[in-house]
Amino acid sequence: MRFVHIADMHFDAPFTSLNLKEGLGDKRRLEQRNAFKRVIEYIKENKIEYLLISGDLYEHEYVKKSTIDYIAKLFNEIPETKIFISPGNHDPYIKNSYYNNYDFGDNVYIFRNSNIERYEDENVNIYGMAFNEFYMNESPLENIVLPYSNKPSVLLSHCDLNGSKDKEGFSYNPILESKLNSVGFDYCAIGHVHKNNINNQNRIYYPGSTISLGFDELGNHGMIVGEVTKDKFNMAFIELDERNFEELIITVDELFSKEELIEKILNYSYNEMTMYKIILVGNRNFEINTRDILRAVSQTNILKVKDKTKLNYNLEELSKQNNLKGIFVKEVLNMYNQGLCTEEEYQKAIEIGLEAM
């Protein structure tokens, strides 16, 4: 079987961080559509037999019917391709979901429940499941046993390899990679993690999110294409995202004013198709207000400024001085040591106080 494997498209995601700059969220949603269209065009041009979608195709909370219509229209452009969808935690198969209330076409098969189903095809056995809620604390994959078949067996699932509970105490179909590998699938098409693992050797693959959703998803994004039989397996990764997210490190040790910092930021050469997060590091010699810096920078593709600098003062030495500065530093240090303020509050108080003096 020849296939394309995608996951975590997250159609109609709000792109909260991009909306800090006017119009960028809307632009990114258009780029989502264009990336998905390139998936369909690749399938057409290469006569791909199967499209595997491992969950989170859309955002249940935000998706518009017009977006669902767009998805279905593209599905209808590849009627000879069999499309399989394993709903995830952001697009679960629930009562009011589009999966349950919309006709995506005769070539689309959607797994409907959290128990493992098997779809028997002339070329392959495809196993899959669905999230029926926005979480899945226990995985049905823990107990799966494959019967013998002379056809390849493929798993389609939205799951969390080696996962644990989140801060609210929920899990998302957690399964040990070693356990899943021991089952003996010829290919595991999985989703949920937004970074691809294309160098994996166990035939268990995340393609990652089809396009990057933000600065916590650096690196390349796209789709996996491959072929699997009982005797052979090969795959390749094709990039689809035309826009990059990049963290730019700027050292402030030798800067002595906000104006110098802004000039240094603007002196860099920026790629218009890259979104930047500026990370400030080093020992600062002046107060830094990241909101002021971001407002002053005219680059529309600089979205965030993160301050990771430290005060350029020897506080222990200053606290020993028999003058106003020494008394002030000693008092603030005492408050910090007694737990009366956070480290960030303590550093900011020292910085503002010493600058005023």
Give me the percent of the chain exceeding a pLDDT of 70: 98
Is the pLDDT assigned to residue 287 strictly greater than 90? no
Q: Which tens digits make up the pLDDT trace of 123-142? A: 999 999 999 999 999 999 98
Average pLDDT over residues 246-270: 93
**Res 161: pLDDT:** 92
Is the pLDDT assigned to residue 317 strictly greater than 90? no
**Res 311: pLDDT:** 77
Q: For residue 258, what pLDDT band results from cuts at 50, 70 and 90? A: very high
Mention every residue, 6+ apart, whose C-beta is less than 8 A from residue 343: 336
Q: For residue 19, what pLDDT band results from cuts at 50, 70 and 90? A: low
In terms of C-beta density within 10 A (0-12 exposed, 13-18 middle, 19 or more buried), how is residue 232 classed?
exposed
338 CB-side CA count, 13 A: 7
Average pLDDT over residues 232-259: 93
Mention every residue, 6+ apart, whose C-beta is less than 8 A from residue 356: none
193 residue type, one letter:
V
Among 2-11, 20-29, 62-71, 177-186, the least confident range: 20-29
Which two tokens mark 2? 């020849």
User: Helix axis angle, 65-76 relative to 24-46, nearest 10°?
Assistant: 20
**Res 191: pLDDT:** 97
Instruction: List, in order of start, the domains of the chain with CATH numbers.
Output: 2-239 (3.60.21.10), 244-356 (no CATH)
Is the pLDDT assigned to residue 20 strictly greater than 90? no
Among 13-22, 144-153, 301-310, the least confident range: 13-22
Is the pLDDT assigned to residue 356 strictly greater than 80? no
Which CB contacts under 8 angstroms, 24+ apart, belong to 197-202? 198/224, 198/235, 198/237, 202/177
Answer for the pair 195, 59: CB distance below 8 angstroms, yes or no: no
Q: For residue 64, what pLDDT band results from cuts at 50, 70 and 90? A: very high
Q: Give CA 45 to chain center in angstroms.
A: 29
Structure-model confidence comparison of residues 345 and 180, the more confident one: 180
Which two tokens mark 335? 């408050």
Q: Which tens digits make up the pLDDT trace of 211-230? A: 998 888 888 999 999 999 98
Q: Which tens digits make up the pLDDT trace of 83-112? A: 999 999 999 999 999 999 999 999 999 999
Average pLDDT over residues 281-286: 89
Is the pLDDT assigned to residue 192 strictly greater than 70? yes
Average pLDDT over the chain, rounded to whole? Answer: 91
Q: For residue 347, what pLDDT band results from cuts at 50, 70 and 90? A: confident
Is the pLDDT assigned to residue 36 strictly greater than 70? yes
**Res 330: pLDDT:** 85
